Amino acid sequence: MVFFFMFGMLQGMRIVGGNQLNGEIEISGAKNLALPALVASILTSDKMIYKNVPNLADVKSLLELLACFGTEINYEGIHTLALSSRNIKSAIAPYDFVRKMRASILVLGALIARCGIATVSLPGGCAIGTRGVDLHIRALELMGADISIENGYIKANTAKGLTGCDITFPVVTVTGTENILMAAVLARGTTRLINAAMEPEVEAFCELLRKMGAKITGAGTSVITIEGVNELCGTEFEIIPDRIEAGTYAIATAVTNGQVLLKNCKYEHLTSFFETLNLAGISCEKKENGVLVYRREADIHPISIQTAPYPGFPTDLQAQYTVLMSLANGSSSITENIFENRFMHIPELARMGADITIHGKTAVVNGVEKLTGAQVMATDLRASVSLVIAGLVAEGETIVNRLYHLDRGYENIEEKLNHCGAKVERFDV
Ligand code: UD1
């Protein structure tokens, strides 16, 4: 097995602020689809081919976990992967692999569907909140799995196999929906997921399962119906563009007052976000091959937002949007409804001159005229990139430490930014 990754644990990023972004940025494949899609290879003994897989640390972590189960992994190019789970030799997901990435919990549904048993480490704490997996567990229990928690592991088995039923999620959960989809495609009878996640990645994931032979209706709506089948087959599948990466570069373009074509970006995957930017004075024009972003007016208007499950404003763009609002001509509020601890970028932005106060789950942002470069510490993936964006527009030099968070979700970020005129470099600490 060959990995083409070099993700520096001990690296930082130096950004010289004040350079406009102009040109084109090619959007990579969506991390949040690649992860469940690769896990779905466990559901079949046939070969799966994945195209447009982003070259990211999170993908590497997941592949290392799949290799523990006996999945054979071959790169057929930097973004094309062939996976074969012909022989599953273990249904145990060890702590050392799962702790690196919460999305590893996705293997629970797939392993129990394929093997009838699964032992998966609890993902544990996460920087952006408690992020339980209780809804995943409860849904599998409703489908007939016996589940216990022992020594930090979820131990699941189904002596008689899983049986379809109605499952109502009390809150929308993206990986919860994907996990139970994988359990349900090979279960006996019909499963209905009520209050299911409607994110484009979930819809595309259903499309992948359908290509493998699953019977699924209602993908992209809040009720997904799955009729279990006896087996699934291999297929070829292309990962959709990463809407969060696209939204991130849209904000980087807006704050630097540049003009960038986000190549491959699908406008309809980010409608509420682009509409908000539009209100803020940023044009986001749908083009044949992407979305063109530029500032329509000299000032950035303050526009308040609340994060919400799709089709609402994505929580994964909240930190980046906070940087935009920190430079707006007035005050706005930003309410984080999905995760309880997702404002860790704010104290760091304050060190760069932003005027933001936190009141519970709402941040009140008073726009300032400029940000100034500083040494800042990245705490999670989206917080990290928000600091990079702040550095692009800040006066002077910004150093972002703990770069490994960025490499979890942004492929070739410095190349993409520098290609458009930024001055960004990575250095070893
Ligand atoms: C996914 C995305 C992540 C995004 C998030 C929300 C992937 C790999 N990650 O994360 O980038 O920020 O959706 O759009 O796709 N919850 C529970 N119990 C559960 C499951 C969830 O209480 O069993 C809560 C969570 O704590 C959170 C909310 O539900 O408050 C939504 O979480 P969820 O949609 O599950 O997030 P992830 O799937 O982990």
Structural domain including 40 reads 34-238
Domain containing 200 — which CATH number?
3.65.10.10
Instruction: Report yes or no on 58 lying in a domain.
Output: yes
Angle, to 10 degrees, between the axis of helix 318-326 and the axis of helix 243-255?
Answer: 10
pLDDT (average), residues 354-380: 95
Ligand 1 centroid vs 25 CA: distance in angstroms?
28
Task: For residues 124 and 256, state if they share a domain.
Answer: no
Tell me what the pLDDT averaged over the chain comes to.
94
Tally of structural domains, the chain = 2
Task: For residues 231 and 246, state if they share a domain.
Answer: no
Our answer on whether the CB atom of 175 is closer than 6 Å to any ligand 1 atom is yes
Q: Which of 203, 238, 273 is the last residue of a domain?
A: 238
Band of residue 2 on the pLDDT scale cut at 50, 70, 90: very low
Task: For residues 20 and 50, state if they share a domain.
Answer: no
d(C-alpha 375, C-alpha 357), whole Å: 20
DSSP secondary structure letter of residue 42: G
The gap from C-alpha 17 to its chain's centroid, in whole angstroms, comes to 27
Tens of pLDDT, residue by residue over 291-342, are 999 999 999 999 999 999 999 999 999 999 999 999 999 999 999 999 988 9
d(C-alpha 261, C-alpha 118), whole Å: 45
Task: For residues 221 and 345, state if they share a domain.
Answer: no
284 is known as an active-site residue: no
Instruction: Report yes or no on 118 lying in a domain.
Output: yes
- Report the run of H or E that residue 150 belongs to, with start and end: strand 146-150
Task: Please report the DSSP string for 259-279 in residue order.
Answer: EEEEET--GGGSHHHHHHHHH
Our answer on whether the CB atom of 178 is closer than 6 Å to any ligand 1 atom is no
pLDDT (average), residues 368-389: 94
pTM value? Answer: 0.96
Tens of pLDDT, residue by residue over 407-419, are 899 999 999 999 9
Q: Which of 180, 213, 238 is the last residue of a domain?
A: 238
Instruction: Report yes or no on 277 lying in a domain.
Output: yes
Question: What residues does 92 pair with on adjacent strands?
Answer: 119
pLDDT of 9 reads: 62
Our answer on whether the CB atom of 171 is closer than 6 Å to any ligand 1 atom is yes
Task: For residues 291 and 397, state if they share a domain.
Answer: yes
Instruction: Report yes or no on 350 lying in a domain.
Output: yes
Band of residue 131 on the pLDDT scale cut at 50, 70, 90: low
CB of 202 closer than 8 Å to CB of 229: no
Ligand 1 centroid vs 173 CA: distance in angstroms?
5
Q: Which of 68, 115, 126, 233 is catalytic?
A: 126
For residue 368, count CB atoms less than 10 angstroms from its CB and return exposed for 0-12, middle for 13-18, buried for 19 or more. Answer: middle
